[in-house]
Structure 1
Amino acid sequence: MTTGAPTPTHPARPRRSRLLTYLPLGVAAWLVLEIWLLTMVAGATGGITVFLLLLAALVLGSVVIKQAGRRAFQNLNEALQRGGAPSGSNGGGNGLMMLGGLLLMIPGLISDALGLLLLIPPVQQALGRYAERTVDRKLREATQGTLGGAFQQARMHRPDGKVVQGEVIRDEPSDEPRDPPQGPRPPLTH
């Protein structure tokens, strides 16, 4: 007989992050704002002007993505010819250029403005430095000094945050066959 707290029949659901909670609302608000802005510009200038703006942004975005991809491939070839790893000197710039091109290709004036903003070199450098610092900080927090520590923590904690304790019992090989256990297994206790 055990004298601990009863085991819940329904495991507690892990808590959703704020990003996952508000992301659908943010995307919906962005879409409504894009459509409203396009209709306002179409009402002021005409539908042909809006169509030409969107077409120009699509063409510019595809040219930017093609150029950034070509430059990234060229950097990779040069690094492989030197016999080393690709340098991180412009890797973030190429990625941000591709993101800017993708934002230009998405229909909408707000996404076009953000895409054009990402094509400005000082903005690229500032965002690249910020992203690098953020990734470094998150990696340090996740590993707590060693990568093995992160894997150890991942093994010990269940998704609901509870720690599962137990021990490994290894059977010694024997000549006689074992009988399988009969009936239900006894419950685990703390």
Structure 2
Amino acid sequence: MLFPIFVVVTLAEIYVLVSVGQAIGGLSTVLLVVVTAFIGSSLLRQQGWSTMAKAQQSMSEGRTPAIEMMEGVVILVSGILLLTPGFLTDALGLLGLMPWSRSYFINHFLEKNAERVFKQRNSVFINRASSSEKKSNKDDTIEGEFWEDK
């Protein structure tokens, strides 16, 4: 499934580069690709540091930085797309660096995959406390065993 995507994207990039090159000239096309790479790299650096700061803030507040880690993955993929020469990959990479579109990508991914993750029934928890040991106090430690079936 991945190979046809690479072939189609590569052919589309070549077509767009040739079309733009015919419209504005070869040197101007190369300069435009280089300029978009510089703009993308500065945005990549800025958004990367911003996401790192948000992750550190979450950890200092005692929360797991799950969303920030997912944002980091989107930023990483966006950086890879920006390093790939071409206008289509640059456009997708720049979209991944915009906070509003990045949150859209993450929400879309979670909507598609959350059900698959949370419906897996391959983990088991057994509580071996006797009925005399069970208390209603929330501060008590619960002894038990946990394992995941693979």
TM-score (norm 1): 0.56
Per residue, is there more helix in 1 or in 2?
2
Match of 1:45 among 10, 24, 28: 24
Residue identity matched to 1:114: L
1:69 corresponds in structure 2 to: 48
Supply the distance in 1 between the matched residues of 2:97 and 2:56 (Cα, whole angstroms). 24
1:135 corresponds in structure 2 to: 113
Q: Find out whether 1:25 has 2:4 as its counterpart.
A: yes
Supply the distance in 1 between the matched residues of 2:31 and 2:124 (Cα, whole angstroms). 55
SS in 1 for 2:58: helix
SS in 2 for 1:85: coil
Match of 2:63 among 85, 93, 98: 85
Residue identity matched to 2:27: I
Per residue, is there more strand in 1 or in 2?
2
Q: Find out whether 1:104 has 2:72 as its counterpart.
A: no
1:146-157 matched pairs, under 5 angstroms: 146-148=122-124, 151-152=148-149, 154=150
Is the radius of gyration larger for structure 1 or structure 2?
1
**CA apart distance, 1:90:** 4.6
Name stretches of at least 5 consecutive residues in structure 2 with no aligned partner: 126-146
Residue identity matched to 2:74: L
Name stretches of at least 5 consecutive residues in structure 1 with no aligned partner: 1-21, 155-190
The answer as to whether partners of 1:60 and 1:104 remain within 8 angstroms in 2 is no
Residue identity matched to 1:53: L
How well do the aligned residues superpose, as a CA RMSD in angstroms?
2.7
The answer as to whether partners of 1:59 and 1:105 remain within 8 angstroms in 2 is no
Aligned length: 129
1:60 corresponds in structure 2 to: 39
2:135 corresponds in structure 1 to: none
**CA apart distance, 1:139:** 0.9
Residue identity matched to 2:114: D
**CA apart distance, 1:46:** 1.0
Q: Which runs of 4+ in 1 moved over 6 A?
A: none
Supply the distance in 1 between the matched residues of 2:40 and 2:76 (Cα, whole angstroms). 8
Residue identity matched to 2:123: L
Supply the distance in 1 between the matched residues of 2:101 and 2:54 (Cα, whole angstroms). 21
Q: 1:114 to 1:80 in 2, by over 3 A?
A: closer
